[in-house]
A and B are shown apart, each in its own frame.
Chain A
């Protein structure tokens, strides 16, 4: 704590750690609650039980929700990653005023409040008959997630030497070869990170799902929402743990990938 300009450094340090504990600990409370042996939401006192997990994994409703969420997130993330990556490369290479304006425009789904996006999708999907369908959910989530990919891939491209791409093109390689052999391998970590963020965004998205999914499609967050509002069944806590566990796994994949990317660089 050299040069700490104010306050005893220990007061400050403990204050910050206390704030961080406030940030992290409550988010973890679903874990003990999911292990309670009782039939209502409570902390386990003397014994732990996995019966709510057994309940979760034997219930056709919960299983179908987990499956639907996985399918939607995988497809939405794939579309977002492919479209977002191509677009980022195009904008990077064009680098004109028009391209920058388009980049700003394409960030809109990230900036506009989810409730407004949800209204817009709802109205449009009614007309296109996409309500309550896989295609409708995948399309909506892909659009919401694409800006994430655009950002991470653009960041990766900013560290990539433009002249390598030019050299490849000037030596006569067509664009597709240049992309496949020169550009994509160098920005791979950025693409994967974008894909992971897109997956997570879709996996735990709730606001749009509340508007455009109802009977046939009930994603995991959507079913949890109903469970939370009833607020009695600890199965919701088990579902919450599963939801977070998948997110953490995906993030770990991205982190591992980033580390490996660095190792190759040096």
Chain B
């Protein structure tokens, strides 16, 4: 690769400049403004952050967000692992069908999916109808507008995000290692637990981190499927901004969220390249 002369390099900076300026002026600066606000509104100081420690509703909301995200991550990774594992070990044709289904669900609007779950899980929805028709329950179960509904919707949304990193990792595992273990007389279960699972751990970590990161700031699904009863950080922030106009609290929570996301993203970048991750959407 030859070095580019200074004069020539300047030309290429001109290509970079429009987007860079656009993002700096209309995005980065406003985001910094939000962070700054958390220290200055309603009065300068750390007052907004002190709310975190007074044991009030904020602590509860943060804890609930963390708990829901953790459960979502565990379930999504487990199901994602199953799908990725099957895809790695099945024939080419079947694998590409499976991949197509994963990608299709990836691209279906989050709004449409929340609507679908709301319709399926409501009191007179399809699921309750089927359960009652089968005689499994006499009264409709409360499947939505509560934490269970939020979890179902979130897991459903996050599975593809779990599958793709795990799949990328599994495709890099040398199958001969598994054959060697079996050839040396180890049982199938033993080989899986001692050979395959440890080799696929980076994929599990990457998928889990990614799901957790996206879950943390998730808005649409918790609002629609929680029906106002499952308040997570993002919904709380939007209420603070649009209804009660408490920018100080909202921007403090946004700052905490951002710090969390960046810290996790930094960890994630040790397992995989962030660019590749989104490239996988293609």
Contact = CB atoms under 8 A, between A and B. Distances in A.
Given A23-B101, A119-B34, A108 B23 contact: yes
B156 A26 contact: yes
Contacts of A57: none
B224 A120 contact: no
Contacts of B118: 228, 231
A228 B114 contact: yes
Contact of B15 (A26, A89, A120, A154): A89
Nearest to B86: A16
Contact of A30 (B27, B112, B241, B242): B112
Given A108-B28, A143-B26, A162 B241 contact: no
Given A20-B98, A86-B18, A119-B34, A29 B119 contact: yes
Interface string A114-140: 111111111110000000000000011
Interface residues on B, range: 35 or more
B136 interface: no
A155 to B, nearest CB: 6
Interface stretch (B44-52, B55-63, B201-209, B213-221): B213-221
Contacts, number: 266
B42 interface: no
Interface in B239-282: 241-242, 247, 250-251, 254, 257-258, 261, 265, 274-275, 278-279, 281-282
Interface in B11-53: 11-16, 18-20, 22-23, 26-31, 33-34, 37
A152 B217 CA distance: 25
B195 interface: yes
Given A5-B195, A89-B15, A116-B254, A23 B282 contact: no
Contacts of B275: 103, 107, 151, 154
Interface residues of A, number: 99
Contact of A124 (B22, B33, B241, B251): B33
Contact of B126 (A19, A29, A84): A29
B115 A30 contact: yes
B101 A119 contact: no
B184 interface: no
Contact of A26 (B23, B79, B120, B274): B120
A37 B91 CA distance: 43
Contacts of B115: 30, 224, 228, 236-237, 240
Given A6-B189, A90-B14, A115 B254 contact: yes
A71 interface: no
A26 B33 contact: no
A43 B126 contact: yes
Given A28-B116, A204-B112, A229-B224, 7 more contacts: A16-B83, A20-B101, A86-B18, A93-B15, A106-B23, A119-B241, A243-B111
5 contacts: A1-B89, A115-B257, A151-B278, A206-B111, A240-B115
